[in-house]
Structure 1
Amino acid sequence: MKLSDIKEILPALDNVEFQLENGTSVPEHFHVTEIGVITKHFIDCGGTIRNEKVVNFQLWNANDFEHRLKPTKLLNIIKLSEEKLGIEDAEIEVEYQSETVGKYDLDFNGNNFVLKNKQTACLASDACGIPAEKHKVNLAELKGKPCCTPNSGCC
């Protein structure tokens, strides 16, 4: 989800609610403690230099159980970050504390913002020798189809 998407969704909401991908709710007294830009300049294992930029939201649970972040307040925080930091429209990454600080992609399910689990991946799989996944074939499906015979040179 991009920053422009969340800005479009927020005005239609009564409350800002987040949940993890597994359905667990982020406690409703959370705070958005930071909005910023994270830039990552790196080289992948294939030697390609890359730049990534995300808008970062940090969620934090405090002991002020009466706190509720309203959509207009979050929109104001976003607007201030755009003005003061020059934040441009980019994908949002959310930091949220579980067993350790986790980084999540953001989605919206029609009611709640969903913290989507992120996965690592090789960006240069063609250059670092990772074999392509082999297509699995059910041997029963080959019945009646021509196949190799011993000494035919095809096997």
Structure 2
Amino acid sequence: MKLSEVKVALEGLERVDFQFEDGSFVAEHFHVTEVGQVEKKFIDCGGVMRFEKKVSFQLWNANDFEHRLKAGKLLNIIRLSERKLEIEDGEIEVEVQGKDTIGKYHLDFNGSNFVLLNTITACLAEDACGISPEGASSSSIEATSCTPGGGCC
């Protein structure tokens, strides 16, 4: 989901709810502690240079149980971030504090709630590593591809 889509969804809402894929919700007294643009420049395991740019929301649960973020307030935070940080209309990545660590999620909207979609890691250079499109099991890697100079990560 892109930032422009989030803004459109917020225009039609009174309250903001974030729901996990399993149906549970982020506590209703959460705070949006950050809205920003994150840029990542990296080389994948096949040696290809890559660049990502995402809009990041960070959610935090405080001990402020009376707090409730209204849609208009989040929309104002987003607009301020766009002006001050020159944030582009990018895909949203949401960070949420879990039990032991921060989880990162893609974002969707089901008509009433923002849905936090689980993210997974993936090999970006499957052809260089000899990984079949079906998956990354050890049986799918050719024996020679993980030898010195074989191109495997």
TM-score class, shorter-chain normalisation, is 0.7 to 0.9
Instruction: Report the counterpart of residue 104 of structure 2 in structure 1.
Output: 103
Structure 1 Cα separation of the partners of residues 61 and 131 of structure 2: 41
CA shift at 1:70, angstroms? 0.5
Question: What residue identity is the alignment partner of 1:37?
Answer: Q
Rounded Cα–Cα distance in structure 2 between residues aligned with 1:132 and 1:108: 29
Matched to 2:97, the amino acid is Q
Take 2:134 and 2:11, find their aligned partners in 1: how far apart are those partners? 45
Residue 83 (structure 1) aligns with: 83
Q: Which protein shows a greater Rg?
A: 1
How many residue pairs get aligned? The number is: 134
Counting helix residues as a fraction of each chain, which structure ranks higher? 2
TM-score, normalising length: structure 1:
0.84
Unaligned 5+ residue runs, structure 1? 135-155
Superposed, 1:121-136 pairs within 5 Å as: 121-133=122-134
Task: Find the residue that maps to 2:19 and give its secondary structure.
Answer: strand
Shift of 1:132: 4.0
The structure 1 segments of at least 4 consecutive aligned residues displaced by more than 4 Å after TM superposition are none
**Cα deviation digits, residues 67-125 of structure 1 (max 9, x gap):** 01101100100000000001010000000011210100000111110110001011110
Q: What code does the residue aligned with 1:66 have?
A: E
The percentage of aligned residue pairs carrying the same residue is 68
Equivalent runs, 1:1-155 vs 2, <5 Å: 1-99=1-99, 100-133=101-134
Q: CA RMSD in A?
A: 1.1
Give the distance between the partners of 2:21 and 2:33, measured in 1 at CA. 21
The one-letter amino acid paired with 2:33 is T
- For 2:82, give the aligned amino acid: E
